[in-house]
Amino acid sequence: MKEEIKFDTPHTQLLAALLADYYISIRVEPKDCTQRIRRSMIKDVFSSIEGSSFAMKSWAISVNPTCFSESEKSILEEYTYHLSDTGIAKERKAKLGTLPNVIFSFKALAKAEGVDFTLDTKCQEWKDLHSSLEVRHRLTHPKSLESLIVSPEEMMNLMSGSGFYFLLISNLLTSIKLKRFPD
């Protein structure tokens, strides 16, 4: 009997919902793209990226937890440890950088599923994703009215970088499917 990929798990449902949100978000006609819509699109896209990275990590640890070190498990579950003022060891939510977390989530899911996967962080699309993240930070923490303006070039970078990200997810899922169902 062939092994099935279950799509009724919380992490796969989250991933599917975020992918749907992304594809709806990018369908806005350029002529309808006001500054408010541009700002919303950038925030929506990064919400989808961060949520889908979490979903991939959840999938990874649920499918093969024994392949990860304790430190990797901590990052997969997004927690860390610290000492309180009274010297007691406590757990707390990890503060993970978006792009390192993206890289880690792809590597973790590929590792858990036993598939080869390479993420090119030197290509132009990755650079576009990085520059779009900087725009998202600027929009999230505005310092002036000008910081709220999103240029057409910044929107093109967003489409390039986020398209690359979601294509990578598609490629990884295809690799997983082909490994599980080789014929």
Domain spans of the chain, in order of start: 10-65+96-178
Chain position carrying tokens 């449902």:
13
- Which pLDDT belongs to residue 2? 44
- Which pLDDT belongs to residue 5? 54
Instruction: Return d(Cα 108, Cα 37) in angstroms, integer.
Output: 34
Per-residue confidence in pLDDT tens, the chain, 183 aa: 445 555 567 777 777 787 777 777 777 766 668 899 899 889 989 999 999 999 999 999 999 999 999 999 999 999 998 899 999 999 999 899 999 999 999 999 999 999 999 999 999 999 999 999 999 999 999 999 999 999 999 999 999 999 999 999 999 999 998 998 887
DSSP helix/strand/coil, 35: helix
CA nearest 58: which of 75, 73, 76, 70?
76
Question: What do you get for the CA distance between the two ends of the chain, in Å?
Answer: 13
Q: And the tokens for 117?
A: 């996967």
- Which pLDDT belongs to residue 142? 94
DSSP helix/strand/coil, 150: coil
Q: Are 177 and 5 in contact (CB under 8 A)?
A: yes
Q: 91 - beta bridge partners?
A: 81
User: 71: how many CB neighbours lie within 10 A of its CB?
Assistant: 9
